[in-house]
Chain A
Amino acid sequence: KQEVTQIPAALSVPEGENLVLNCSFTDSAIYNLQWFRQDPGKGLTSLLLIQSSQREQTSGRLNASLDKSSGRSTLYIAASQPGDSATYLCAVRPAAGNKLTFGGGTRVLVKP
């Protein structure tokens, strides 16, 4: 059974610092990995999707890497802003089937 873990559970940084969010998964037989942002009580906004054959994806200030063999992904957010404050979740889709298994999320606070 796939297990997804995100460490740390919470992170507080001053504005302008780079954020590094970690995601690990136990079963490397994945089809892709997706990073989401969730504001309190709100829906999930897809940030980046990395296919299993890819090593990284970039979108603006966001960069996500994937090391499938070691079961790890990292989301980097450059030059953090107070508006980046949210919970960030990673989710993996297995090689067989299409359900996403989510990590517990990292709650980020960027202080002005």
Chain B
Amino acid sequence: AAGVIQSPRHLIKEKRETATLKCYPIPRHDTVYWYQQGPGQDPQFLISFYEKMQSDKGSIPDRFSAQQFSDYHSELNMSSLELGDSALYFCASSLDPGLAGGPDTQYFGPGTRLTVL
């Protein structure tokens, strides 16, 4: 079965550079989520999109922005990178979370490991 695809899988950047992470959800999934997992930490929710609109927002820095496109893929743009941004960035997708009684299991991608030097 098709899974969530994230690219690139690994990314090395210098401080103050920018990075763009891409996420391709499972086919027919209309909701995308971004999470950040620092070393030895649990994943922290950043932002989510449903039908190309931002649906929820967590602890996402102002230096970060994201969007969902018409084909439902999503991109997380990170500017003025800091050392503390080094982490594993996960994208997850699900079906419409508002579907009454429907399952809305979030399926996670393999993650993009970002290292900021």
A binding-site residues for B, Cβ under 8 Å:
31-32, 34, 36, 41-46, 49, 51, 89, 91, 93, 97-105
Tally of A-B residue pairs with Cβ under 8 A?
Answer: 60
Contact residues in A for B48 (Cβ distance below 8 Å): 98-99
- B103 sits at the interface (CB 8 A): yes
Would you give the shortest CB distance from A111 to chain B, in whole angstroms?
Answer: 23
Contact among B88, B106, B111 for A46, CB-based, below 8 A: B106
- Tell me the interface secondary structure of chain B in the complex: strand
Contact residues in B for A97 (Cβ distance below 8 Å): 56
Find the residue from B42, B48, B104 having the highest chain A CB count within 10 A.
B42
Interface string of B1-41 (1 = CB under 8 A from A): 00000000000000000000000000000010101000000
Complex: A16 Cα to B38 Cα, angstroms: 33
When the two chains form their complex, are residues A98 and B109 in contact, meaning their CB atoms are under 8 A apart? no
Contact among A41, A43, A99 for B45, CB-based, below 8 A: A99
When the two chains form their complex, are residues B108 and A44 in contact, meaning their CB atoms are under 8 A apart? yes
Closest 9 pairs between A and B when the two form their complex, measured CB to CB: A99-B45, A44-B108, A102-B42, A43-B110, A98-B97, A49-B105, A97-B56, A43-B111, A99-B56
